[in-house]
A and B are shown apart, each in its own frame.
Chain A
Amino acid sequence: MTEPGYTPSPEQAAETGTLAARIALKQRAGGIVVPIVTVVIAFLMGGLVVLATGHNPLLAYRAIFNGAGLNWIFHPTTSMASTASYNLSQTLLQTTTLILCGLAVAFAFRCGMFNIGGQGQYFVGFFVANWLGVDFASMSPLPHILIAVGAATLAGALWAGIAGVLKASVGAHEVITTIMLNWIAIWIGEWLVADGGPLQNSSQPFNPSSNPVSSSAELPVFWGSHTLGGLDVGIFVALAAVVLFWALLNRTTLGYEVRAVGFNPDAAAYGGINVRKNIVRAMAISGAFAGLAGALDMLGYLYGFSQNDIPLSQVGFLGIAVALLGRNTAVGTLLGAVLFGALLFGTTHGLTGNVIQPELAGNLTYIIQGLVVLFVGADVLILYVWNSRKRLRPARSASAAGAS
């Protein structure tokens, strides 16, 4: 036997282990209950803020629910249906983006890295999609869309790949590099459409916004009106990405390598796996998801952007909450994206202002998001449950020993 004092407990092992190993421990410890409890607590605390500032939280949440179009489920055919279905289609647009941004964060997590740069990778894809969507206007739709989406995805992969290469080659921490890359992407975006910038709207000088993409690059809308920005086929791409994510991780040797490196790089190297290669590759794949999200937003319903839009976009960061809540799994990320997509649209544009103003409720989303990340990341409940279970066991065996 080794000296008992040096035998690490599961928690100690988890603390000293990699990020992925720690997350995995929490997964085993909590199952699906913890994310649900986390969300409930976050909503309760958000509700307290609402209550404290003189609004009725129940009515507010109901309004948000309706604002997200989720009430469509109860009456898909009645007269309420048109507003509700519009709201739902808009919620699903947000969900599309968040699925992909969540997958981006989750994939890097599974390789033991924290990709905090989803926002930058999203923007890079967003800008490239605008550039290629505006150019090649004479092209026929399918190749035009494929080229624009493909290039944007690649751009996201390359952008994240920088962080991967820096980590693999000189050990630069990916959190720091991806934060820096976020802001570099943001300022590049500001520059692209600034007065005289390369993507700036040529017909309107002094207006810091881009040209709209050509109609040949727009994704087909299948639900709702095209002019009002109905739901485009991007959501199917996102759903396909969920399946791809799962298959890639669980059914390919690439996924096996990524998970091995994520859990234990030393053992992976011992197994003959090239750890550095996997760090770069996982980062690039992660960035590809985010770049794809940017492309789908640009070609699916936004079609262009102005300088003012850039600082307002938070989808890359929301992806962190989505992934963490979804425990970095494919299905979990999907569910997390639905929740936050509904919150995002339901608290802003979809919300009717008589219960709680959209401006107020929109910030409620950030509060809830913050609380969710705080609780999920901190596993207050998980470790509590885990510890109390552990505490019971030795106590029982000790009393049994005492009795004998």
Chain B
Amino acid sequence: MSNTWVDRLDNPASARLRDPAFTGYVGIFLGAFAAFLAIPPIEARTTTWPILVGVVGAIFGIWTVTRGRRRVGWGAVAAGILGLALGILATRSGTGNLHTVFDPTLIAQTFGFATPLVFGAIAGMISERSGVINIGLEGMMLMGAFWGVYGADRGGTWAVGLVVGAVLGGLLALVYAYFAIHLRADQIVGGTAVNFLALGITGYFFVQLYHNQPVPNGVSTLPNLKIPGLSGLHFFGPAIGDLNILIWAGFVLVIVAYVVLFRTPIGLRIRACGEHPRAADTVGINVYAIRYACVGVSGVLAALGGVYLSEGSQGNGTFIFDMTNGRGFIALAAMIFGNWRPAGAFGAALLFGFSNALALRLQVYSASASTLFNVLPYVLTLIAVAGVIGRTVPPAADGKPYRKQ
């Protein structure tokens, strides 16, 4: 047996295929595809296809494992089995339920859930790229959520709300920055304090100003952006034809964040401060100024995510106590899961938003089981930091106070 098909892979042209990790990724893709086959729009009603594709995915995984790339390999095995199981489940369920869960608005809803996470994750990333850990994202978002409503209520328009929310979030961030940068406080402790503080401040003024009522009614909210020509279409219309402006702003933010951080001089300096502040200092970069600016911007962006929560299509102009309910931490998770990179953070935010949207919709099957779906972001992040699916690498000086000589 001299000329097996494996031998033929030694041909340099298929060098990519011979990279064991690549076959692992193929396996992961097949696993996802196995589940995808059984849901609309493909909606295969036979178990054959999901089983077949899932098993092939798992085999790719095992093959990868035997060739030394164990993490990716086991990931593919897991994806194959999971996809196979989900595929079978989907074929067993009624088509009516399937169509309730998987319709084009699922995409719109995913974006809706993902947007606060996108803002939060990018916010966290900017702060951490400059070397300051921002555990206080949750609190800064909460500030945006409350003061956004307050601004829109008093100012009469959502635009005022947007500005007021962003400014108050930025102010809280600057308070944190003073403790973290100038006083060289422990950044985890400081961030935790910021979260308590925001919870207290928003709760206090919510009671003081609105007497704890889930009002005010009729506050101007963030408008949707109807795209002419698209909103009438069959699939794209309900999916992306009528999205909130902050959702679009979130997309733009990801691109801007990427360009600024990785394609401009200021981005180079920011990253230098997060990797090796002493090196940045010795070439005359003002490390403190850059860190202050980044933490401030981080607070503003996180607050915008919060404004979306209360003033977007889901919040509809109302605030409730502790409205963020952990979204700041999911945003943090998305940032880590996305390996401190804009595209990665965006992808993670979408994935987490998707799991939220799905959890809501899966209630047609089982209320309790769908609740459990909400843990997905946290479990995935736990797996990510455990290094099972590749190593996450924070900036080298992240969380370390810098002291000028």
> Are A and B in direct contact (Cβ within 8 Å)?
yes
Cα-based distance from A304 to B212 in the complex (angstroms): 26
Interface size class of A (residues with CB under 8 A): 35 or more
Would you give the 0/1 interface string for B159-197, flagging 1 where the beta carbon is closer than 8 Å to chain A? Answer: 000000000000000000001000111101110111111
Chain B residue contacts of A256, Cβ below 8 A: none
Interface size class of B (residues with CB under 8 A): 35 or more
Would you give the 0/1 interface string for A245-283, flagging 1 where the beta carbon is closer than 8 Å to chain B? Answer: 000000000000000000000000000000000000000
Is B204 touching A187 in the complex (CB atoms < 8 A)?
no
Cα-based distance from A175 to B372 in the complex (angstroms): 23
Is B188 touching A360 in the complex (CB atoms < 8 A)?
no
Cα-based distance from A360 to B202 in the complex (angstroms): 11
Which residues of B in the span 304-354 have a Cβ within 8 Å of any Cβ on A? 322, 325-326, 329-330, 332-333, 336
Cβ of B368 within 8 Å of any chain A Cβ, yes or no, is yes
Measured between C-beta atoms, what is the minimum distance from A201 to chain B in Å?
13
Would you give the 0/1 interface string for A179-218, flagging 1 where the beta carbon is closer than 8 Å to chain B? Answer: 1111110111011001111001000000000000000000
Measured between C-beta atoms, what is the minimum distance from B124 to chain A in Å?
12
Measured between C-beta atoms, what is the minimum distance from B277 to chain A in Å?
12
Partner of A22, one of B186, B197, B325: B186
Cβ of A243 within 8 Å of any chain B Cβ, yes or no, is no
Cα-based distance from A176 to B377 in the complex (angstroms): 13
Is A374 touching B368 in the complex (CB atoms < 8 A)?
no
Measured between C-beta atoms, what is the minimum distance from A121 to chain B in Å?
15
Is A365 touching B385 in the complex (CB atoms < 8 A)?
no
Is A370 touching B386 in the complex (CB atoms < 8 A)?
no
Partner of A190, one of B179, B188, B371: B371
Cβ of A399 within 8 Å of any chain B Cβ, yes or no, is no
Chain B residue contacts of A380, Cβ below 8 A: 179, 183
Is B183 touching A180 in the complex (CB atoms < 8 A)?
no
Chain B residue contacts of A184, Cβ below 8 A: 375, 378-379, 382
Chain B residue contacts of A2, Cβ below 8 A: none
Cα-based distance from A345 to B121 in the complex (angstroms): 36
Which listed segment binds B: A93-101, A165-173, A284-292? A165-173
Which listed segment binds B: A27-35, A62-70, A71-79, A317-325? A317-325
Q: Using A371-B193, A374-B190 as known contacts, say yes or no to A359 and B207 having CB atoms under 8 A apart.
A: yes
Measured between C-beta atoms, what is the minimum distance from A12 to chain B in Å?
7
Is B193 touching A370 in the complex (CB atoms < 8 A)?
yes
Measured between C-beta atoms, what is the minimum distance from B220 to chain A in Å?
25
Q: Using A184-B379, A188-B372 as known contacts, say yes or no to A172 and B188 having CB atoms under 8 A apart.
A: no
Is B208 touching A360 in the complex (CB atoms < 8 A)?
yes
Is A378 touching B368 in the complex (CB atoms < 8 A)?
no
Is B368 touching A200 in the complex (CB atoms < 8 A)?
yes
Chain A residue contacts of B194, Cβ below 8 A: 370, 374
Would you give the 0/1 interface string for A115-137, flagging 1 where the beta carbon is closer than 8 Å to chain B? Answer: 01000000000000000000000
Chain A residue contacts of B329, Cβ below 8 A: 179, 182-183
Is A366 touching B183 in the complex (CB atoms < 8 A)?
no
Q: Using A166-B385, A374-B197 as known contacts, say yes or no to A195 and B333 having CB atoms under 8 A apart.
A: no
Partner of A183, one of B135, B179, B195, B326: B326
Would you give the 0/1 interface string for A150-179, flagging 1 where the beta carbon is closer than 8 Å to chain B? Answer: 000000000000000010001011011101
Is A377 touching B193 in the complex (CB atoms < 8 A)?
yes
Would you give the 0/1 interface string for B357-387, flagging 1 where the beta carbon is closer than 8 Å to chain A? Answer: 0000000001111011011001101100111
Cβ of B403 within 8 Å of any chain A Cβ, yes or no, is yes
Chain B residue contacts of A194, Cβ below 8 A: 367-368, 371
Q: Using A179-B332, A183-B326, A364-B200 as known contacts, say yes or no to A170 and B183 having CB atoms under 8 A apart.
A: no
Cα-based distance from A144 to B204 in the complex (angstroms): 42
Would you give the 0/1 interface string for A70-113, flagging 1 where the beta carbon is closer than 8 Å to chain B? Answer: 00000000000000000000000000000000000000000000
Nearest CB in chain A to that of B382: its residue = A180
Chain A residue contacts of B381, Cβ below 8 A: 176, 180
Cα-based distance from A299 to B135 in the complex (angstroms): 33
Inter-chain residue pair count (beta carbon < 8 A): 165
Q: Using A188-B375, A364-B204 as known contacts, say yes or no to A170 and B193 having CB atoms under 8 A apart.
A: no
Chain A residue contacts of B57, Cβ below 8 A: none
Chain A residue contacts of B122, Cβ below 8 A: none
Is B179 touching A378 in the complex (CB atoms < 8 A)?
yes
Measured between C-beta atoms, what is the minimum distance from A3 to chain B in Å?
13
Chain A residue contacts of B148, Cβ below 8 A: none
Would you give the 0/1 interface string for A344-388, flagging 1 where the beta carbon is closer than 8 Å to chain B? Answer: 000000000000010110111111111111101111100100000
Q: Using A357-B207, A366-B203 as known contacts, say yes or no to A175 and B135 having CB atoms under 8 A apart.
A: yes
Which residues of B in the span 233-258 have a Cβ within 8 Å of any Cβ on A? none
Is B192 touching A116 in the complex (CB atoms < 8 A)?
yes
Is A175 touching B188 in the complex (CB atoms < 8 A)?
yes
Cα-based distance from A58 to B128 in the complex (angstroms): 41
Partner of B204, one of A12, A175, A363, A374: A363
Is B183 touching A53 in the complex (CB atoms < 8 A)?
no
Cα-based distance from A49 to B371 in the complex (angstroms): 39
Cα-based distance from A109 to B347 in the complex (angstroms): 35
Chain A residue contacts of B206, Cβ below 8 A: 363
Is A377 touching B372 in the complex (CB atoms < 8 A)?
no
Cα-based distance from A136 to B206 in the complex (angstroms): 45
Cα-based distance from A180 to B387 in the complex (angstroms): 15
Chain A residue contacts of B199, Cβ below 8 A: 363, 366, 370
Partner of B197, one of A170, A177, A324, A370: A370
Cβ of B201 within 8 Å of any chain A Cβ, yes or no, is yes
Q: Using A15-B184, A183-B329, A311-B325 as known contacts, say yes or no to A374 and B371 having CB atoms under 8 A apart.
A: no
Is B326 touching A186 in the complex (CB atoms < 8 A)?
yes
Cβ of A330 within 8 Å of any chain B Cβ, yes or no, is no
Partner of A187, one of B192, B197, B375: B375
Is A311 touching B322 in the complex (CB atoms < 8 A)?
yes
Cβ of A19 within 8 Å of any chain B Cβ, yes or no, is yes
Chain A residue contacts of B367, Cβ below 8 A: 194-196
Cα-based distance from A175 to B208 in the complex (angstroms): 34
Measured between C-beta atoms, what is the minimum distance from B358 to chain A in Å?
14
Cα-based distance from A305 to B205 in the complex (angstroms): 29
Partner of A377, one of B190, B366, B374: B190
Cβ of A114 within 8 Å of any chain B Cβ, yes or no, is yes
Jot down 16 A-B pairs with beta carbons below 8 A, ordered by A: A53-B204, A53-B208, A172-B387, A188-B375, A190-B371, A194-B368, A197-B368, A317-B196, A366-B197, A369-B196, A371-B197, A373-B193, A373-B196, A374-B190, A374-B197, A377-B186
Task: In the A-B complex, list the 10 residue pairs whose CB atoms are closest, starting with the nearest.
Answer: A377-B189, A366-B200, A370-B197, A367-B200, A378-B185, A370-B196, A363-B203, A374-B193, A373-B193, A194-B368
Seed contacts A366-B203, A377-B190; 18 additional CB < 8 Å A-B pairs? A15-B184, A116-B188, A166-B385, A172-B385, A180-B382, A196-B369, A357-B207, A360-B207, A363-B199, A363-B206, A364-B204, A366-B204, A373-B192, A377-B193, A378-B179, A378-B183, A378-B186, A380-B179
Binding site for B on A (CB under 8 A): 11-12, 15, 19, 22, 49, 53, 114, 116, 166, 170, 172-173, 175-177, 179-184, 186-188, 190-191, 194-197, 200, 311, 317, 320-321, 324, 357, 359-360, 362-374, 376-380, 383
